[in-house]
Amino acid sequence: MKYFVGIDIGATKIIFLLLANNKIVKKKKIPTPKTKIAFFSALKENLVLETKPIAGVGIGVPALLDIKRELVLNSPNLPYLNNCPLPQLVKGFLFKKSAVAMDNDANCFALAEACLGAGQEAEVVCGITLGSGIGAGIVLNRKIYHGAYGSGGEVGHMSIKFDGYKCSCGSFGCFEEYASEKFFKRRKISSKELEVEASAGDKKALQLFSDYGKYLGIGLANIVNVLDPKIIVLGGGTSKTSKFFMKSTQEECSKRIISPLAKKYVRIKKAKLGEFSGAVGAALLLIKK
Protein backbone atom coordinates (compact mmCIF):
# COMPACT_ATOMS: atom_id res chain seq x y z
CA MET A 1 0.00 0.00 0.00
CA LYS A 2 1.28 3.46 -0.92
CA TYR A 3 0.99 6.38 1.48
CA PHE A 4 0.76 10.01 0.40
CA VAL A 5 0.96 13.10 2.58
CA GLY A 6 -1.28 16.09 1.79
CA ILE A 7 -0.52 19.51 3.26
CA ASP A 8 -2.96 22.41 3.04
CA ILE A 9 -1.20 25.63 4.04
CA GLY A 10 -3.61 28.36 5.11
CA ALA A 11 -3.20 31.85 6.49
CA THR A 12 -4.24 30.73 9.99
CA LYS A 13 -3.83 26.93 10.03
CA ILE A 14 -2.02 24.09 8.31
CA ILE A 15 -3.72 20.74 7.78
CA PHE A 16 -1.66 17.57 7.41
CA LEU A 17 -3.14 14.25 6.40
CA LEU A 18 -2.07 10.82 5.28
CA LEU A 19 -3.91 9.29 2.34
CA ALA A 20 -3.93 5.62 1.32
CA ASN A 21 -6.27 4.13 -1.28
CA ASN A 22 -7.98 7.54 -1.48
CA LYS A 23 -8.93 7.35 2.20
CA ILE A 24 -7.71 9.53 5.05
CA VAL A 25 -5.61 7.43 7.44
CA LYS A 26 -4.43 10.20 9.77
CA LYS A 27 -4.95 13.95 10.04
CA LYS A 28 -3.70 16.87 12.09
CA LYS A 29 -4.12 20.66 12.33
CA ILE A 30 -1.69 23.26 13.65
CA PRO A 31 -1.67 27.09 13.70
CA THR A 32 0.29 28.58 10.80
CA PRO A 33 3.69 29.82 12.06
CA LYS A 34 4.49 33.52 11.77
CA THR A 35 8.07 33.21 10.52
CA LYS A 36 9.87 31.21 7.83
CA ILE A 37 12.13 29.43 10.33
CA ALA A 38 9.18 28.43 12.50
CA PHE A 39 7.27 27.35 9.39
CA PHE A 40 9.90 24.85 8.26
CA SER A 41 10.43 23.63 11.81
CA ALA A 42 6.69 22.93 12.02
CA LEU A 43 6.75 21.06 8.70
CA LYS A 44 9.61 18.88 9.86
CA GLU A 45 7.95 18.18 13.19
CA ASN A 46 4.48 17.38 11.85
CA LEU A 47 5.12 15.63 8.56
CA VAL A 48 5.94 12.33 10.24
CA LEU A 49 2.37 11.05 10.33
CA GLU A 50 3.25 7.45 9.59
CA THR A 51 6.28 5.23 10.06
CA LYS A 52 5.75 3.50 6.70
CA PRO A 53 7.59 4.88 3.62
CA ILE A 54 5.92 7.91 2.08
CA ALA A 55 5.43 7.68 -1.69
CA GLY A 56 4.85 11.40 -2.12
CA VAL A 57 4.07 14.74 -0.52
CA GLY A 58 1.62 17.22 -2.04
CA ILE A 59 1.46 20.83 -0.89
CA GLY A 60 -1.38 23.32 -1.37
CA VAL A 61 -0.24 26.95 -1.05
CA PRO A 62 -2.34 30.16 -0.96
CA ALA A 63 -0.23 31.86 -3.59
CA LEU A 64 0.50 32.54 -7.22
CA LEU A 65 3.00 29.92 -8.34
CA ASP A 66 5.46 29.14 -11.09
CA ILE A 67 4.57 25.46 -11.42
CA LYS A 68 7.35 24.64 -13.91
CA ARG A 69 10.09 26.15 -11.75
CA GLU A 70 8.42 24.92 -8.53
CA LEU A 71 8.52 28.42 -7.09
CA VAL A 72 6.13 30.39 -4.85
CA LEU A 73 5.83 33.76 -6.60
CA ASN A 74 3.53 35.73 -4.34
CA SER A 75 1.69 34.68 -1.18
CA PRO A 76 -0.18 37.75 0.17
CA ASN A 77 -1.02 36.13 3.51
CA LEU A 78 2.37 34.43 4.00
CA PRO A 79 4.94 36.81 2.44
CA TYR A 80 7.86 34.87 3.95
CA LEU A 81 7.16 32.23 1.29
CA ASN A 82 7.57 34.66 -1.61
CA ASN A 83 10.19 33.46 -4.11
CA CYS A 84 10.59 30.26 -2.09
CA PRO A 85 11.36 26.95 -3.92
CA LEU A 86 9.11 25.16 -1.47
CA PRO A 87 8.99 21.67 -3.06
CA GLN A 88 12.78 21.57 -3.38
CA LEU A 89 13.24 22.52 0.26
CA VAL A 90 10.72 19.97 1.46
CA LYS A 91 12.30 17.27 -0.69
CA GLY A 92 15.84 18.19 0.27
CA PHE A 93 15.30 18.56 3.98
CA LEU A 94 12.51 16.15 4.74
CA PHE A 95 11.68 13.59 2.05
CA LYS A 96 14.73 12.90 -0.07
CA LYS A 97 13.28 9.63 -1.34
CA SER A 98 9.76 10.93 -1.88
CA ALA A 99 8.21 12.83 -4.77
CA VAL A 100 7.03 16.33 -3.88
CA ALA A 101 4.46 18.42 -5.77
CA MET A 102 2.93 21.83 -5.16
CA ASP A 103 -0.11 23.69 -6.43
CA ASN A 104 -2.39 26.55 -5.51
CA ASP A 105 -4.61 25.72 -2.53
CA ALA A 106 -7.85 26.44 -4.43
CA ASN A 107 -6.69 24.16 -7.26
CA CYS A 108 -6.13 21.41 -4.70
CA PHE A 109 -9.63 21.99 -3.29
CA ALA A 110 -11.15 21.75 -6.76
CA LEU A 111 -9.18 18.60 -7.61
CA ALA A 112 -10.32 16.83 -4.43
CA GLU A 113 -13.96 17.70 -4.98
CA ALA A 114 -13.79 16.71 -8.65
CA CYS A 115 -12.19 13.34 -7.92
CA LEU A 116 -13.64 12.31 -4.57
CA GLY A 117 -16.23 14.89 -3.57
CA ALA A 118 -19.26 16.78 -4.88
CA GLY A 119 -17.99 16.95 -8.47
CA GLN A 120 -17.37 13.26 -9.09
CA GLU A 121 -18.16 11.98 -12.58
CA ALA A 122 -18.31 15.53 -14.02
CA GLU A 123 -15.95 16.33 -16.90
CA VAL A 124 -15.72 20.04 -16.11
CA VAL A 125 -15.72 21.22 -12.48
CA CYS A 126 -15.09 24.64 -11.03
CA GLY A 127 -14.29 24.68 -7.32
CA ILE A 128 -14.65 27.99 -5.50
CA THR A 129 -13.60 28.80 -1.95
CA LEU A 130 -15.46 31.63 -0.26
CA GLY A 131 -13.62 33.15 2.67
CA SER A 132 -11.49 36.22 3.36
CA GLY A 133 -11.08 36.27 -0.42
CA ILE A 134 -12.18 34.08 -3.32
CA GLY A 135 -10.08 31.20 -4.55
CA ALA A 136 -10.97 28.98 -7.47
CA GLY A 137 -9.72 26.01 -9.40
CA ILE A 138 -10.76 24.52 -12.73
CA VAL A 139 -10.59 20.77 -13.25
CA LEU A 140 -11.01 19.28 -16.72
CA ASN A 141 -11.36 15.50 -16.89
CA ARG A 142 -9.86 15.18 -13.39
CA LYS A 143 -6.83 17.33 -14.23
CA ILE A 144 -6.14 20.86 -13.01
CA TYR A 145 -6.26 23.54 -15.69
CA HIS A 146 -3.44 26.02 -15.07
CA GLY A 147 -3.73 28.22 -18.15
CA ALA A 148 -0.80 29.51 -20.21
CA TYR A 149 1.01 31.20 -17.31
CA GLY A 150 -0.20 29.29 -14.27
CA SER A 151 -2.92 31.66 -13.08
CA GLY A 152 -5.96 29.90 -14.55
CA GLY A 153 -8.93 30.07 -12.21
CA GLU A 154 -8.26 33.47 -10.59
CA VAL A 155 -11.94 34.36 -10.87
CA GLY A 156 -11.88 36.47 -7.71
CA HIS A 157 -10.36 39.29 -9.69
CA MET A 158 -12.75 39.41 -12.61
CA SER A 159 -14.69 42.66 -12.62
CA ILE A 160 -18.41 42.58 -11.92
CA LYS A 161 -18.84 46.37 -11.49
CA PHE A 162 -17.36 49.38 -13.24
CA ASP A 163 -16.84 51.25 -9.99
CA GLY A 164 -17.12 50.46 -6.31
CA TYR A 165 -14.54 49.27 -3.84
CA LYS A 166 -10.85 48.99 -4.64
CA CYS A 167 -9.47 45.46 -4.44
CA SER A 168 -6.09 44.40 -3.08
CA CYS A 169 -5.02 43.79 -6.70
CA GLY A 170 -5.46 47.50 -7.39
CA SER A 171 -8.58 47.26 -9.53
CA PHE A 172 -12.13 48.37 -8.74
CA GLY A 173 -15.26 46.23 -8.74
CA CYS A 174 -13.61 42.81 -8.37
CA PHE A 175 -15.81 39.78 -7.71
CA GLU A 176 -13.87 39.17 -4.48
CA GLU A 177 -14.92 42.53 -3.08
CA TYR A 178 -18.60 41.58 -3.32
CA ALA A 179 -18.73 37.82 -2.80
CA SER A 180 -16.17 37.08 -0.09
CA GLU A 181 -16.14 37.96 3.62
CA LYS A 182 -15.12 41.47 2.55
CA PHE A 183 -18.78 42.07 1.70
CA PHE A 184 -19.75 41.44 5.32
CA LYS A 185 -16.66 43.04 6.87
CA ARG A 186 -17.54 46.40 5.31
CA ARG A 187 -20.80 46.15 7.24
CA LYS A 188 -18.95 45.48 10.50
CA ILE A 189 -20.07 41.87 10.76
CA SER A 190 -19.03 38.38 9.65
CA SER A 191 -21.16 35.82 7.83
CA LYS A 192 -21.02 33.65 10.95
CA GLU A 193 -22.35 36.45 13.14
CA LEU A 194 -24.98 37.35 10.57
CA GLU A 195 -26.09 33.72 10.47
CA VAL A 196 -27.16 33.97 14.12
CA GLU A 197 -29.36 36.98 13.33
CA ALA A 198 -30.77 35.40 10.18
CA SER A 199 -31.57 32.19 12.07
CA ALA A 200 -33.66 34.30 14.45
CA GLY A 201 -35.62 35.68 11.51
CA ASP A 202 -34.07 39.15 11.43
CA LYS A 203 -35.26 40.74 8.18
CA LYS A 204 -32.20 42.95 7.71
CA ALA A 205 -29.90 39.98 8.11
CA LEU A 206 -31.90 37.90 5.64
CA GLN A 207 -31.88 40.77 3.13
CA LEU A 208 -28.12 41.19 3.50
CA PHE A 209 -27.59 37.50 2.74
CA SER A 210 -29.90 37.86 -0.25
CA ASP A 211 -27.86 40.81 -1.56
CA TYR A 212 -24.66 38.86 -1.08
CA GLY A 213 -26.17 35.91 -2.93
CA LYS A 214 -26.99 38.09 -5.92
CA TYR A 215 -23.40 39.28 -6.26
CA LEU A 216 -22.20 35.69 -5.98
CA GLY A 217 -24.73 34.70 -8.65
CA ILE A 218 -23.42 37.37 -11.02
CA GLY A 219 -19.88 36.02 -10.72
CA LEU A 220 -20.96 32.39 -11.09
CA ALA A 221 -22.96 33.23 -14.21
CA ASN A 222 -19.83 34.77 -15.75
CA ILE A 223 -17.95 31.56 -14.98
CA VAL A 224 -20.69 29.44 -16.54
CA ASN A 225 -20.82 31.58 -19.67
CA VAL A 226 -17.04 31.37 -20.18
CA LEU A 227 -16.19 27.90 -18.88
CA ASP A 228 -19.48 25.98 -19.24
CA PRO A 229 -18.86 23.67 -16.24
CA LYS A 230 -21.13 20.81 -15.32
CA ILE A 231 -20.80 21.49 -11.60
CA ILE A 232 -19.66 24.43 -9.47
CA VAL A 233 -18.59 23.38 -5.98
CA LEU A 234 -18.61 25.97 -3.18
CA GLY A 235 -16.32 25.62 -0.17
CA GLY A 236 -14.68 27.86 2.41
CA GLY A 237 -16.02 29.36 5.63
CA THR A 238 -18.69 31.56 4.05
CA SER A 239 -20.25 28.58 2.25
CA LYS A 240 -21.34 27.22 5.64
CA THR A 241 -24.07 29.88 5.65
CA SER A 242 -25.27 28.99 2.14
CA LYS A 243 -28.82 28.14 3.22
CA PHE A 244 -29.38 31.87 3.61
CA PHE A 245 -28.02 32.96 0.22
CA MET A 246 -28.15 29.95 -2.12
CA LYS A 247 -31.64 30.70 -3.41
CA SER A 248 -30.78 34.25 -4.48
CA THR A 249 -27.46 33.00 -5.89
CA GLN A 250 -29.16 30.41 -8.07
CA GLU A 251 -31.86 32.83 -9.21
CA GLU A 252 -29.40 35.56 -10.18
CA CYS A 253 -27.06 33.07 -11.82
CA SER A 254 -29.88 31.57 -13.88
CA LYS A 255 -30.97 35.00 -15.11
CA ARG A 256 -27.54 35.69 -16.57
CA ILE A 257 -26.58 32.32 -18.09
CA ILE A 258 -26.80 32.56 -21.86
CA SER A 259 -27.02 28.85 -22.77
CA PRO A 260 -30.47 27.27 -22.34
CA LEU A 261 -28.79 23.91 -21.66
CA ALA A 262 -26.43 25.32 -19.06
CA LYS A 263 -29.28 27.26 -17.49
CA LYS A 264 -31.17 23.99 -17.11
CA TYR A 265 -28.44 21.56 -16.11
CA VAL A 266 -25.51 23.31 -14.38
CA ARG A 267 -25.46 22.54 -10.67
CA ILE A 268 -24.12 24.60 -7.76
CA LYS A 269 -23.20 22.32 -4.86
CA LYS A 270 -21.58 22.58 -1.45
CA ALA A 271 -18.24 20.86 -0.95
CA LYS A 272 -18.47 17.29 0.27
CA LEU A 273 -15.03 16.86 1.87
CA GLY A 274 -15.26 19.82 4.24
CA GLU A 275 -12.13 21.45 5.64
CA PHE A 276 -9.96 18.56 4.44
CA SER A 277 -10.63 19.13 0.73
CA GLY A 278 -7.43 21.12 0.19
CA ALA A 279 -5.16 18.58 1.88
CA VAL A 280 -6.83 15.67 0.07
CA GLY A 281 -6.35 17.48 -3.24
CA ALA A 282 -2.70 18.15 -2.40
CA ALA A 283 -2.11 14.43 -1.88
CA LEU A 284 -3.92 13.70 -5.14
CA LEU A 285 -1.37 15.82 -7.02
CA LEU A 286 0.99 12.84 -6.74
CA ILE A 287 -1.56 10.05 -6.95
CA LYS A 288 -2.95 11.38 -10.24
CA LYS A 289 0.50 11.33 -11.90
CATH of the domain at 235: 3.30.420.40
Read off the pLDDT of each residue in 236-263 and give the average, rounded to a whole number: 97
pLDDT of residue 48: 62
In-domain check, residue 24 = yes
Using a pLDDT cut of 70, give the percent of the chain over it: 94
Residue type, 124: V
pLDDT of residue 150: 84
Specify which residues 72 forms β-bridges with. 65, 84
132, 252: one domain: yes
30, 129: one domain: no
Lowest pLDDT segment from 23-27, 199-203, 276-280: 23-27
283, 209: one domain: no
156, 99: one domain: no
Which structural domain range is residue 98 located in? 3-107+276-287
Q: At CA 65, angle to CA 68 and CA 19, rounded to 5?
A: 85
Top pLDDT among 280 and 288 is at: 280
In-domain check, residue 240 = yes
| 269 pLDDT above the threshold of 90 | yes
Top pLDDT among 152 and 95 is at: 152
Q: Residue 65: in which H helix or E strand, if any?
A: strand 64-66
pLDDT of residue 169: 67
In-domain check, residue 116 = no
Q: Are 27 and 44 in contact (CB under 8 A)?
A: no
In-domain check, residue 230 = yes
91, 134: one domain: no
What interhelical angle do 191-199 and 203-227 show, nearest 10?
A: 120
- Give the C-alpha separation, 18 to 37, whole Å: 24
- Give the C-alpha separation, 250 to 233, whole Å: 13
Q: Are 229 and 125 in contact (CB under 8 A)?
A: yes
In-domain check, residue 99 = yes
pLDDT of residue 11: 87
Cα distance from N-terminal residue to C-terminal residue, the chain: 16
134-158 residue pLDDT tens = 999 999 999 999 998 888 898 988 9
| 51 pLDDT above the threshold of 60 | no
22, 71: one domain: yes
Q: Are 230 and 211 in contact (CB under 8 A)?
A: no
254, 283: one domain: no
| 107 pLDDT above the threshold of 80 | yes
pLDDT of residue 128: 97
At residue 162 the predicted structure's pLDDT band, cuts being 50, 70 and 90, is confident
The domain total for the chain is: 2
46, 152: one domain: no
pLDDT of residue 173: 81
Q: At CA 285, angle to CA 280 and CA 289, rounded to 5?
A: 135
- Give the C-alpha separation, 113 to 236, whole Å: 13
131, 178: one domain: yes
Read off the pLDDT of each residue in 86-95 and give the average, rounded to a whole number: 81
Nearest to 271 by CA among 154, 147, 131: 131
| 55 pLDDT above the threshold of 60 | yes
80, 205: one domain: no
Q: Is 82 exposed, middle or buried (0-12, 13-18, 19+ CB in 10 A)?
A: middle
166-190 residue pLDDT tens = 777 667 789 999 999 999 999 999 9
Whole-prediction pTM: 0.93
